Amino acid sequence: SAGIDLALSILKDLKGPLFTHKVARGLVVYHRRSGKHNQQSIYLDYRNHINPKVHEVQDYLIDNLSQENDMDTLAKLVSMSLRNLSRVFKEKTGSTILEYLTLLRIEYANTMLNNPEYTIEYIASQCGFKTSRQLQRILKK
């Protein structure tokens, strides 16, 4: 791991951050999933950009899925106006913040559904859905 970090640091100095990001993404070995799951993950699919403020928002959303994620709070987190954050996020990821958050919640819910000890109500609360009915409706889509 330290060797890869060193190599990427040298690449960044020589070739720049965009090239380094592409190399780093190519080095990722994906976890093998069952046939009913995508091989790639929402956690990686929307991160093929190098905007640190958008990454910070993405990290915050991942760490706070069960919370009510207020857009004004997200904008303040990265010292941007709400309008500018929304524009930059969509430009860099191809989706709105709300679309991205919903996809994160669905991904996490699908992972939790593999554990028979969790009730649908518990999963919904941990993933940030207001009710289990809302989660069930979204999963049917």
Using one digit for the tens of pLDDT, what is the confidence trace for 40-73? Answer: 567 778 888 899 999 999 999 988 999 999 999 9
| Same-domain check for residues 72 and 128 | yes
**Which residues, in sequence order, are CB contacts of 137 under 8 Å at separation 6+?**
none
Span 117-138, average pLDDT: 95
Domain count, the chain: 2
Q: How confident is the model at residue 28 (pLDDT cuts 50, 70, 90)?
A: low
Q: Are residues 16 and 52 in the same domain?
A: no
Q: What is the mean pLDDT of residues 29-34?
A: 42
Q: Are residues 112 and 68 in the same domain?
A: yes
Whether residue 61 is contained in a domain is answered as: yes
Give the side-chain half-sphere CA count within 13 A for 45.
11
The pTM of the whole model exceeds 0.75:
no
Same domain, 73 and 100: yes
Question: Do 65 and 117 belong to one domain?
Answer: yes
- pLDDT of 99 > 60? The answer is yes
Q: Which residue from 101, 4, 87, 18 is spatially nearest to 53, judged by alpha carbons?
A: 87
Residues 6+ apart with CB under 8 A from 89: 54, 57, 95, 96, 97, 100
Look up residue 81 and give its DSSP letter. -
Statement to judge: residues 51 and 119 lie in one domain: yes
Tokens (6 digits) for 93: 């990821």
Residue 35 inside a domain? The answer is: no
